[in-house]
Structure 1
Amino acid sequence: MAVYQTSKAGANLDMFDEEHRTPLIAACENNHLDTVKYLVRAGATVGHKDIMGFTCLHLAAKLGHYDVVHHLLNKASKYINCQDNGGWTPITWAIEHKHKELVHLFLKKGADVNIRDKEENVCLHWAALSGCDDIAQALLEAGCDLNAVSIHGDTPLHIAARENHLQCVISICRG
């Protein structure tokens, strides 16, 4: 059930529901670009976090909503490296779900590929797990630490080998 509040100037753009999701988060999640543009222009907070710590960018990246992500990065790029409750950044979600075009967009816009999540994984760990060798290669070219060790003692190469992602193994070995 949504919670509504109005003010003298109109609706409170940043009012949130029981999951702490604002109208802007809902529009981003559902890939409603025109609504996203309107709400951002009207002053909705782009960096608001829901109960999972997701911002609009996290959800749009996870779901592969390229145009929404592109618009948000053009209007509020300071949230590009924002971490959710698990320490994941928006680019991490794009990698996890194999949204290659989004990964390249995040890299072009300056996403930090060496931010560690709560288990000390960097972006390359997730590319190795998902088996996307072209994403792994792009991350390596962006300076991602190929020798980063997670709390489980894994490097990206450990993960790629365990998952039998040969092309990722080759990319990581070539560094």
Structure 2
Amino acid sequence: MPLGTIDVDIEPLDPESITRGNVNDGNEDGVTPLMRVALTTNDIKHVKSLLRKRANLDQQDKGGNTVLMWVVKSLFRLKNETRCEMKLSILDLLLNRGADVNLADNEGYTPMMIAAMGNDEKSFAKLVNKKAMVELTNQNGETALHLAIKYNASTTIINSLNSFYQKMNVRDNNGHSPFMIASFRRKLDLMRTYHDKGVDINEFDVKGWTALMYAVNCGDADVVNLLKELGADFNLADSHGKTALEIARILQNSTMALLLRKLGAFTNNIETNAWMDKLQKELNLYDFDDKAATFDAHTSESTGIDFELLESEQPVGHNPEVEAETSSSISSQRSTYLLHWASIKLHDMLETFRRIVSPIFSL
């Protein structure tokens, strides 16, 4: 949901008290009588009454919301099926009277984006039928497809949006394509779909990270294994020259490091190689390829690997003969990667909170 919200006066408004002279007058937030009535009533005749008085369908409040936007926002908060159907009839009325389906709010969110974020298949389908534009972007460069994946919309909504794109490499302002967001959300089947459509699975975002690097940062073995299956390059370096294996070492994630090595990752970084050598010796992995043949980062039954040691909170030691980073340097780098991950999660949580917490509590 857009960060800006407007406190809507949800007290019932008698449409008969509104005249043609004041039908488009907004309150201090620019909310018009039509917006108020559309939000607070389930009786379509009240909305029709204001439309007969020439209420402006596309007038925007100070947040850029139109009456269409407010109705779409209200729909996915309603739990009562009867009330949902009544509200959908109001949506149909607005659409049939020519409400602009592509008019965005101040942050660039369109009704289609809101429907996708709210996983509202019915209003989404109605907007598609009215030729709502799927390629529009909000201020973050996100399309309805980005948002549908990000907010775990249904397969129906995502597949509908997929069908409109010839190329699936459209990126938001962070450089994230639908494929990358699918990897963040662990949507493995969707990742396969985009791979089959020819997306670049090794693409870098604006921070110089690939989908693999994010998966390593989050310790997600399923995504890492799938990326290997799809042919991802495990030895690319980020904008700071760090490979996925080096990120695992900085995070002291022994399990992930061993998985990466098993899947073909290597590095010329002296510190990382020294750490890996010591780790393998401590685990008696002298013949690493053979010992790790059945390695799975999600199980403790892998051949020849002591997972209690692998998952120990104690950091693996470093070879004193190798020019090593200081513990403070390692801690600093580890914190950087963790903060990088945490900032993304925090932003998503905040945006979800603002989406769910609405001024329309009585609906």
Matches of 1:99 and 1:165, distance apart in 2:
23
After superposition, the CA RMSD in angstroms is: 2.5
What is the aligned residue count? 174
2:152 matched residue in structure 1: 64
Q: Answer yes or no: is the 8 Å Cα contact 1:98–1:130 preserved in 2.
A: no
2:120 to 2, 8, 32: 32
Q: How does 1:117-132 map to 2 (within 5 A)?
A: 117-132=205-220
Greater gyration radius: 2
Q: Deviations along 1:18-38, whole A, 9 cap, x unmatched? A: 110000000111111222222
Measured after TM superposition, the shift of residue 169 of structure 1 is 2.5
Q: Answer yes or no: is 1:172 the counterpart of 2:260.
A: yes
Q: Answer yes or no: is the 8 Å Cα contact 1:64–1:94 preserved in 2.
A: no
Q: How does 1:138-153 map to 2 (within 5 A)?
A: 138-153=226-241
Q: Deviations along 1:135-165, whole A, 9 cap, x unmatched? A: 1111122222211111122111122333344
SS in 1 for 2:166: helix
2:223 to 127, 135, 150: 135
- With structure 1 as the length reference, what TM-score do the two structures score? 0.84
1:92 matched residue in structure 2: 180
Q: Answer yes or no: is the 8 Å Cα contact 2:219–2:256 preserved in 1.
A: yes
Q: Answer yes or no: is the 8 Å Cα contact 1:128–1:156 preserved in 2.
A: yes
Matches of 1:79 and 1:15, distance apart in 2:
25
Sequence identity, in percent? 28
1:44 to 109, 114, 132: 132
Unaligned runs of at least 5 residues, structure 2: 1-62, 69-93, 265-363
Matches of 1:103 and 1:164, distance apart in 2:
28
Unaligned runs of at least 5 residues, structure 1: none
Q: Answer yes or no: is 1:78 the counterpart of 2:166.
A: yes
Q: Deviations along 1:46-80, whole A, 9 cap, x unmatched? A: 1111001111111111122241222211x213352
Measured after TM superposition, the shift of residue 166 of structure 1 is 4.0
Q: Answer yes or no: is the 8 Å Cα contact 1:66–1:102 preserved in 2.
A: no
Matches of 1:59 and 1:149, distance apart in 2:
28
SS in 2 for 1:146: coil
Matches of 1:111 and 1:50, distance apart in 2:
22
Q: Answer yes or no: is 1:54 the counterpart of 2:142.
A: yes
2:108 matched residue in structure 1: 20
- With structure 2 as the length reference, what TM-score do the two structures score? 0.43
Matches of 1:90 and 1:124, distance apart in 2:
15
Matches of 1:66 and 1:104, distance apart in 2:
17
Matches of 1:77 and 1:164, distance apart in 2:
40
Q: Which amino acid aligns with 1:39?
A: L
Q: Which amino acid aligns with 2:182?
A: A
